[in-house]
Structure 1
Amino acid sequence: MSSNNSDQKGKDKSSLSLLWIVIISSISLSIFVSYVHFEDFSLMITTQNWIIYLGLIVLFIGILTRFLIIKSLGKYFTVDVTIREGHQIKKDGVYSVLRHPSYSASLLTFLGLGLF
């Protein structure tokens, strides 16, 4: 869900921009590494099937975690960081450990995709 006109925008302090920089850099680096041949390392990974299964597990954990985080925020979830009327900072559950668990779950998903 995106924000609407009554929401307060501009309070983000660039965390979304930083996230996009990390995502684009990670994808670019993974493409570069996939074309560079590290002889011993490349042979070790391509002959081992466990890394594919590990990547699949990490991928699904990231997707499931993000889904649960979005569901826990309910109507307060937006794709852009905004403050809605009646909004309070969530400090329980996963939020007591991680400040941005939704972003963390997205990065975990990308890690799983890279391993897969």
Structure 2
Amino acid sequence: MTRHRIFTTSFASVYPHYAAKAEKKGRTRAEVDEIICWLTGYGPEQLAARLDDQTDFETFFAEAPRMNPARFLIKGTVCGVRVEEIGDPLMREIRYLDRLIDELAKGKRMEKILRDG
């Protein structure tokens, strides 16, 4: 997938993959939603509206109410690339979310995932 296609892909088309990854490991869709809301500042109703209106990734992150400042504490790799070293700001935000979903699927406690201690 080219850089342009990733950004113009609807968030709603990828969301079921996030949920399935978590649910396959015994976690819940509610936890996935909590992570997304923590990262972006969307409330549950706003998130549902973004999913319904097929918002693309670029718009989803650009219009996020408040990107969580603690997201810079997210470290590690996604697809062999360290998230903290990704230069493109939008791709870094996408990979932050990928990393958080990976942590959820690996059984990490929500307090740790949400960088609450």
Tell me the TM-score normalised to structure 1 length: 0.30
Between structure 1 and structure 2, the one with the greater Rg is 1
Higher relative contact order (CA 8 A, sep 6+): 1
